[in-house]
Amino acid sequence: MTILLILTAFIFLSYYLLFIRLKIDSSHQKIILAGLWGLGQIILTQLFLGITKLLYLPALIFLNIGIALVLVVCSCIFKGNILITVQQEFRKIAGGIRNAVSFENVFLLILFGFVFIWMATAIYFFPARNGDDLTYHLPPVFEYIINHKIFLLPVEINKRFAFPENAELLFMWPAVFLHSQQFVNSAQLIVSLWGGVIIYGLAKLLGIRSKISLFVSLLFLMTPVLMSQMGSCYIDITVSVFTLTVFYCAVMFYKSKSSIYFYSTALAAGLLWGMRYNECIFILMVIPFLFAKKPFRSRQWFGFIFIFLMAGSFWYLRNFWVLNTPIYPLPFSQDSLSIYSAHWENVTLGQFLMLIPSKLFLLWKDTGLGSLHGGYGLIFLGLALPAWFYIWTTSIIQRNRLNFWIYSLLIIGVGQLMWVSLKDYIWTARYSIFIVAIGLLALGQVLIIFDQIILFRRGIKILCVLFAVLAVVHLSENIPSYRIDKIIKTFVDGRYLTQQDWGERGSARGILDYLTMNDPKPLNCDTAMIFHPHLILSPVYGTKLQNKMWVFGQDKSVKPDVFIYLRGMDWSLWPDDSDLKIILEEQRINSDYLLVFQNSYSFLYMRKDFFKDPQKMQLLINYKKNVMEAAPVLAH
Amino acid sequence: MINQRTQCILLSFVMIGFTSLQLFWNGQAYLNGFKNFHYIYESLGLLLSHAVHPH
């Protein structure tokens, strides 16, 4: 853990130091650039080692230390005393903080501090527990770590394994260091904080003064869907923050003509392209910014394209190599998952257009509120959206091209959601979280424009603070739950044994995890869920990634050591033609296996041989004593 | 061209309308949070006291 924290900080600080020496003006600009290049390094070094089948921890550490040391050495050879430069930087940061302090900002900072502690506690105690985490974001990451290489998992098991995975490589960073799932859901929390700085940077770019800039960036962090996803392994925050980074770098280049921002745009765009298929829309949108200024020499454009392709093209090449198509599943096909994990509806153009008002209404009604699928919140939908209408219209009337382009991002963000079918719309809002940031920037500009009208200014600020409090309070009602009370009580009572023992369905996984946690030899595990064989995979690997998935193994003739079935006991629910039902029947009568646990949600079979070791039986008894006293059945 | 004060008043009316609709649709959901929120700070307090004085 210490190595992870020190190395991550060292990577970030090495870039920060480099950007100090490259005379990047403001501290927030340096944080944004250091964050971008630092995260880029984290993603790309893992990718490089994964492709070359060298994804071992020592190799990853030495490669990253090597790159960071080169950056530090490069920073030191610039003219001027480095210590004086660092001192000046500290003074600059302190001055910047003083400029941004206001009553409402201090209140929001304290409120966010509370949210941060809450989320960090939830990340520590809870496992990754949301549908997409368990089914396709995390299993590839764990397979890459176990096999020390990056490859394509069988798409017959889940088509989503073929999605681009740059964002997932951020989840891999703590997991590869700790060889554990424990902090795998911390990445989005860190990216959110960095996203807050990007909103601050964008606000400053639009001429909003420091206090209001900090105000809107803190409000962004209080967005319900953002808070809801902070402790998850969904990738929507990461994708949205990188979308904003692409725009930030492009606009900074437009304003400063600095080649640092030119190449940073390439890196951000490449990384974004490697996170989700449809993000190329935004990359096309920033091209005008890049061409609007002085024409570039072909050498520089070559550098741009090289960085862009290096950062994002691998997943497309991999798909082309293995599946003969760069994008899989193909968008707009009958059985496809569309360009997101949601489904595409096969309708005529007329029907498509007719559905748009209904979709906009659902979006406006904030139907996903209270889940990680949606929740733009009262501040955005109540206050920032009218402000956006005002600023966007004004930008057209005043022919302010820059504002028009930046604020049009909201239309593109909403527009890309129209491809999702109406029945899937309830979980659509999360794909465009960045539109909240665009709305909040407009709110910040409105506060500046009507600064003289005190009643308006104060009224908006009070409402924003109140709504931020409501959003934080509402998080305690969220699904998946951030209710940490029960688990903390378990921990304080000394009954907290494993992170995987979460919720009723977690019990079978919890036992498996507890029994195998310190085993040097992995167990071969299989899992099935009604209608979906091999769907929810990641908990079965165990907290310390100690188990293997039978379904990804080469030799299928050897039966698994462990079976976990979910939503199990009512066999009438299993389809008659399901092979799984036959396997279940076999399992029940097979004398090699022991039904170790069953409840109304799950049941766990393990090979009897496993319990030849008396310690294992003792562990099982210990588990029952500590955790399952209230559980319905423990079969022997 | 409408003067700035009038623009501000018009914008305020739109904001009040939008916010009222949001509160009408989702207000109860937000208020429901208060039922459980005390568990969060109480349990964080419990964790803190456990860290300071472990059993």
Would you place residue A488 in the very low, low, confident or very high pLDDT band (cuts 50, 70, 90)? Answer: confident
Same domain, A551 and A565: yes
Residues of chain A found within 8 Å of residue B41, distances taken between Cβ atoms: 114
Averaged pLDDT for residues A155-163:
87
Q: What's the gap in Å between the CA of B48 and the closest CA on chain A? A: 10
Q: Based on C-alpha coordinates, what's the Rg of chain B?
A: 22
Read off the pLDDT of each residue in A347-364 and give the average, rounded to a whole number.
Answer: 85
pLDDT interval class at A495 (50, 70, 90): confident
Q: State the best of B16, B32, B40, B46 to mutate against chain A, taking most chain A CBs within 10 Å.
A: B40
Q: How many domains does chain B have?
A: 1
Range with the poorest average pLDDT among A119-123, A330-334, B30-34: A330-334
Interface contact flag, A474 B14, Cβ < 8 Å: no
Does the CB of A623 have a partner CB in chain B at under 8 Å? no
Q: What are phi and psi of A521, to 5 degrees?
A: -100, 125
For residues A78 and A201, membership in a common domain is answered with no
Band (pLDDT 50/70/90 cuts) for residue A505 is very low
Please name the residues in contact with A336: beta carbons below 8 A apart, sequence gap of 6 or more: A329, A330, A343, A344
| Structure tokens that stand for A56 in this block | 């071992």
What CA–CA distance (Å, rounded) separates A349 from A356?
A: 11
pLDDT tens digits, B6-18 = 989 999 999 999 9
Res. A203: pLDDT tops 70: yes
The pLDDT mean for chain B works out to 89
Give the distance from CA A495 to its chain's centroid: 30
Which of A61, A79, A100 is a domain's end point?
A100
Chain B residues whose beta carbon lies within 8 Å of the beta carbon of residue A492: 46-47, 50, 55
The C-alpha of B50 sits at a distance from chain A's nearest C-alpha, in angstroms, of: 7
Which residue in B29, B33, B46 is closest to A488 by CB distance? B46
Q: Kindly report the average pLDDT of chain A as a whole number.
A: 85
Preferred mutation among B6, B7, B11 to probe A, highest tally of A CBs within 10 A: B11
Cα–Cα distances in Å, from A601 out to A506, A597, A598?
9, 11, 8
Shortest Cα distance, chain B CAs vs residue A94, angstroms:
30
B26 contacts in A (CB within 8 Å)?
A: 365-366, 369, 378
Residue-range definition of the domain harbouring residue B19 = 1-55
More confident residue, A565 or A308: A308
pLDDT at residue A419 in the model: 81
pLDDT at residue A611 in the model: 84
pLDDT given at position A628 = 65
Looking at the fold, whether A95 and A112 belong to one and the same domain comes out as no
SS (H, E, C) B1-55: CCCHHHHHHHHHHHHHHHHHHHHHHHHHHHHHHHHHHHHHHHHHHHHHHHHHCCC
Higher pLDDT, A6 or A558: A6
Strand, helix or coil for residue A256: helix
Which residues on chain B are in Cβ contact (under 8 Å) with A389? 14
A635 pLDDT higher than 80: no
Above 90 in pLDDT, residue A520? no
Q: Which of A446, A477, A489 sits opposite B33 (nearest CB)?
A: A477
Q: Would the pLDDT of A527 be above 90? A: no
Residue A168: strand, helix, or coil? helix
Residue A400: pLDDT over 80: yes
pTM of the model: 0.91
For A457, the domain range is 101-475
Nearest CA in chain B to A362: B25
With respect to residue A594, please indicate whether it lies within any of the assigned structural domains. yes
Element (H, E) at A602: strand A602-607
Q: Which of A118, A386, A477 sits opposite B11 (nearest CB)?
A: A386
A367 with A463, same domain? yes
Q: Higher pLDDT residue, A635 or A164?
A: A164
Q: Are residues A288 and A436 in the same domain?
A: yes
Q: Is A124 found in the same domain as A74?
A: no
pLDDT beyond 50 at A369: yes
pLDDT at A54 over 50: yes
To the nearest whole Å, the CA of B22 is away from the closest chain A CA by: 6
Give A108-130 as a DSSP string. HHHHHHHHHHHHHHHHHHSPP-S
Residue A445 pLDDT class (50, 70, 90 cuts): very high
How far does B51 lie from chain A, in Å, by closest CA? 9
- A323 with A454, same domain: the answer is yes
* A527 and A449 inside one domain: no
Query: For A533-554, what is each residue's pLDDT tens digit?
Result: 677 888 889 889 999 888 888 7
Give the DSSP H/E element, type plus range, for residue A191. helix A187-205
Contact B4 A473 (CB under 8 A): no
- Would residue A480 count as lying in a domain? no
Across residues A282-291, what is the average pLDDT?
74
pLDDT in tens, A85-144: 778 878 888 888 888 888 999 999 999 999 999 999 999 988 888 888 888 899 999 999
> Which range among A217-226, A234-243, A517-526, A620-629 shows the weakest confidence by mean pLDDT?
A620-629
Task: Note whether residue A138 is domain-resident.
Answer: yes
Which among A277, A200, A301, A300 has a CA at the least distance from the CA of A245? Answer: A200
Identify the pLDDT of residue A332: 63
Res. A66: pLDDT tops 90: yes
Please check whether residues A92 and A114 belong to one and the same domain. no
pLDDT bucket at A343, cuts 50 / 70 / 90: low
Q: Does one domain contain both A153 and A91?
A: no
Quote the CA–CA distance of A361 and A367 in Å, as a whole number: 9
Helix (H, G, I), strand (E, B) or coil at A539: helix
Instruction: Say yes or no for a CB contact (<8 Å) between B12 and A385.
Output: no
User: Cβ–Cβ of B4/A370 closer than 8 Å?
Assistant: no
Contact B8 A453 (CB under 8 A): yes
Alpha-carbon span A399 to A417, nearest angstrom? 28
| Residues on chain B bordering chain A, Cβ-to-Cβ distance under 8 angstroms | 4-5, 7-8, 11-12, 14-15, 18-19, 21-23, 25-26, 29-37, 39-44, 46-47, 50, 55
Cβ within 8 Å of B, A 437-496: 446, 449-450, 453, 456, 459-460, 463, 470-471, 473-477, 482-485, 488-489, 491-492, 494
pLDDT band per the 50, 70, 90 thresholds, residue A342: low
Q: Is A397 on the interface with B (CB under 8 A)?
A: no
Residue A481 falls within a domain, yes or no? no
Q: What percent of chain A shows pLDDT beyond 70?
A: 89
Mean pLDDT value of segment A203-221: 93
What pLDDT, on a 0 to 100 scale, did the predictor assign at position A568? 53
Structure confidence at residue B24 (pLDDT): 93
Distance from B31 to chain A by nearest Cα, in Å? Answer: 7
Confidence of residue A492 (pLDDT cuts 50, 70, 90): confident
> CB–CB of A117 and B44 under 8 A?
yes
Evaluate if residue A636 carries a pLDDT over 50.
no
Instruction: Give every CB contact of residue A218 below 8 A, 6+ residues apart in sequence.
Output: A105, A108, A109, A112, A196, A468
DSSP A340-382: SSSPBP---HHHHHHHHHHHHHHHHTTTTTTBTT---HHIIII
Render pLDDT for A219-242 as a digit per residue (tens, 0 to 9). 999 999 999 999 898 999 999 999
Point out the domain boundary residue: A45, A78, A100.
A100
Q: How far is B32 from chain A (nearest CA, A)?
A: 7
Q: From CA A63, how far away is CA A52, in angstroms rounded?
A: 13
pLDDT band at A345 (very low <50, low <70, confident <90, very high): low
Cβ neighbours of A316 (radius 10 Å)? 18
Per-residue pLDDT, A631:
43
Q: What is the pLDDT of residues A568-613, one digit of tens each?
A: 545 555 555 555 555 666 666 667 788 888 777 777 888 888 888 8
**What pLDDT, on the 0 to 100 scale, is given for residue A296?**
66
- Indicate the pLDDT class of residue A504, thresholds 50, 70 and 90: low
Check residue A551 and give its pLDDT.
Answer: 83
The residue among A49, A65, A100 that closes a domain is A100
Inter-chain CB proximity A365 and B25 less than 8 Å: yes
Shared-domain flag, residues A434 and A538: no
b/e sequence A558-584, b meaning 16+ C-beta within 10 Å: ebbbbbbbbbbeeeeebeeeeebbebb
Q: Cβ distance A138 to A180 under 8 Å?
A: no
Domain count of chain A? 3
Whole-complex ipTM:
0.94
Identify the pLDDT of residue A633: 41
> What six digits make up the tokens of A23?
């005379």
Pairwise CA distance, residues A269 & A264, whole Å: 8
* Closest chain B C-alpha to A215 CA, distance in angstroms: 19
Verify whether the Cβ–Cβ distance B22 to A390 is below 8 Å.
no
Residue A484 with chain B: CB contacts under 8 Å: 39-40, 43-44
- Same domain? For A292 and A384 the reply is yes
What's the gap in Å between the CA of A176 and the closest CA on chain B?
28
According to the model, what pLDDT value does residue A68 have? 93
Helix (H) or strand (E) holding A562: strand A562-566
Task: Compare all CA atoms of chain A with the CA of B19 and give the residue at the minimum distance.
Answer: A382
